[in-house]
């Protein structure tokens, strides 16, 4: 895990079912340059509230509906690959019991705080265009990248 970043992982989201989860069930990973644990609680809250109803697939955005923490103007999240874990450590994690390997697979999805204008941009133009912009995804005090 990176030094100096608040990093959190969920547990329990993958226990639900969703029709879009064909190649594994998600758990969420957040890494931000902050000491405010409300960031971690917000991701856990979303996992609990949206489990089984929201796909948490790459490019998905979630409107939190208000500032996530008081000191940041960010009000939404975007889902993409984890930037703090190696690909082998976040995709295809087999948690099945011996003899049932391959039946319970977890993929850890990265959660990135974003501004509302960025959420709208991603929904209209796609994640790739936004991700190629000049933005530091761990900086929760940054200005909008677009």
pLDDT tens, position by position, 55-80: 999 999 999 999 999 999 999 999 99
Per-residue model confidence (pLDDT) at position 72: 98
Q: Is 126 exposed, middle or buried (0-12, 13-18, 19+ CB in 10 A)?
A: exposed
- 96 pLDDT exceeds 90? no
Decide: helix, strand or coil at residue 8. Answer: strand
What is the 3-state secondary structure of 42-111?
HHHHHHHHHCCCCCCCCCCEEECCCCCCCCCCCCEEEEEECCCCCHHHHCCEECCCCCCCCCCEEEEEEE
pLDDT, averaged across the chain: 93
Per-residue model confidence (pLDDT) at position 129: 87
- 102 pLDDT exceeds 70? no
- 88 pLDDT exceeds 70? yes
Per-residue model confidence (pLDDT) at position 146: 87
Distances (CA, A) of 124 to 11, 90, 118, 133: 31, 28, 10, 15
* Distance between first and last Cα of the chain: 29
- 98 pLDDT exceeds 80? no
pLDDT tens, position by position, 7-48: 999 999 999 999 999 989 999 999 999 999 999 999 999 999
Residue 46 to residue 76: CA distance in whole angstroms: 11
**38 pairs with which residues across the strands?**
none
């Amino acid at each position: 895990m990176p030094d100096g970043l608040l990093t959190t992982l969920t547990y329990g989201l993958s226990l639900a079912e969703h029709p879009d989860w064909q190649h594994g069930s998600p758990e969420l990973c957040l890494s931000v340059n902050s000491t405010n644990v409300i960031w971690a609680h917000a991701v856990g809250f979303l996992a609990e509230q949206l489990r089984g109803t929201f796909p948490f697939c790459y490019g998905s955005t979630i409107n939190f509906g208000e500032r996530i923490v008081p000191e940041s103007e960010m009000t939404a999240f975007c889902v993409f690959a984890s930037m703090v874990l190696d690909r082998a450590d976040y995709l295809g994690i087999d948690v099945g019991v011996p003899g049932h390997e391959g039946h319970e697979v977890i993929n850890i999805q990265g959660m990135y705080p974003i501004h509302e204008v960025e959420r709208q941009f991603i929904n209209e133009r796609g994640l790739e265009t936004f991700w190629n912009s000049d933005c530091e995804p761990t900086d929760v005090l940054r200005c909008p990248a677009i």
